[in-house]
Amino acid sequence: MGVQKEFGFTLGRMAKGRRNLITDVPGVKVGQVSIHDGEIHTGVTAILPHTGDIFHDKCPAASHVINGFGKSTGLVQVDELGTIETPLILTNTLSVGTASTALVRYMLERNADIGVDTGTVNPMVFECNDGYLNDIRGLHVKQEHVLEALAAASDEFEEGATGAGCGMCCYSLKGGIGSASRTFELYGSTYTVGSLLLTNFGSLRDLTIGGDRVGEKLWAEKEAEEKDKGSVIIIIATDAPLSARQLKRVARRAQSGIARTGSISGNGSGEIALAFTTTNRIPHYSIDKPICIQTMYEEDMDLMFRAAIECVEESVISSLTHAVRTEGFRGHVRESLADLMR
């Protein structure tokens, strides 16, 4: 909430959650490990959809690929079965394999039936390329970093150049981790929508904040325009009663959120959204009767769409305003938007 107040931004019109973070959605937790060491700027961000047994008590989910220049894992099964069954891990592109192995180990330790009495597990790992500021070829993310991030999951977490966002760049500035939340009243209940983004995309000239072409003003001082390239991972969580089909509709709206900040979803940008709900849990084993799924009435979905779009838009800007100036690999530098606007 302090981002808009400090810089005078007006982003959306819906009520915000208490923390204005994805963890305002009850049960959702986030843990991070940051690695900053000379030319090394990388890390891990872990999202726990709920604090129970997610393998046996799955969350309905759906993904949407805005632009497919990416190396994430687990999306095929999510779109086939409509559920997630592991925490969500965010890291750099070349660490996807390491993170996947660590996440599998994490799940095996907690579920003795995986691969024995039932099938295997579908690890969800997402990535962006932090190679401009980070020595990505050094493969500095280890399995223990993933496990540490999972163990650190809590309601509070930092934004900006932290976790998986340590080495990310957004709109030619320092990007990283950004988050926001919104609430709305429906059916006599209060529902929460939250998002967490790993931002690594955009060209400075396009940056727009609350309708203000901020990037155009900043770019006027530059000699050349950088191409819109990079990636963004968008995680949207809610406790509203949605089906996997409805969550697919929500995930598609993520593009509207990043477009509000100026993105054109460039050719070389890996842009992936995943939406899940903590309501309508799906049991891993049969309960010998039909599973009852509550869903929102379709004409009420506009509330979900608006909340998701506002969260995504603000998460992008929050990742920028919380990030600090970073000098990294081969002397490459990304400035902080907060410094430039003060």
Q: Give bridge partners of residue 232 from the DSSP assignment.
A: 199, 271
Tell me whether residue 271 is one of the annotated catalytic residues.
yes
Measuring CA to CA, which residue among 301, 196, 283 is closest to residue 243?
A: 301
Tokens, residue 103 = 């996440």
What is the rounded distance in angstroms from the CA atom of residue 223 to the CA atom of residue 171? 15
Radius of gyration over every alpha carbon of the chain, rounded to an integer in angstroms: 19
**Which position among 34, 269, 319, 336 bears the catalytic label?**
269
- Helices 96-110, 143-151: inter-axial angle, 10-degree rounding: 50
Q: Residue type for 183, please?
A: T
E-strand stretches of the chain: 29-37, 40-48, 57-68, 83-84, 88-92, 124-128, 169-170, 173-174, 176-186, 189-200, 229-238, 268-277, 282-283, 326-327, 333-334
**Which position among 231, 263, 315, 336 bears the catalytic label?**
231
CA distances to 93, 176, 195, 305, 306 from 234, in Å: 15, 12, 7, 14, 15
**Which position among 85, 127, 159, 271 bears the catalytic label?**
271
What is the rounded distance in angstroms from the CA atom of residue 296 to the CA atom of residue 304? 9
Task: Tell me which residues are annotated as active site.
Answer: 231, 269, 271
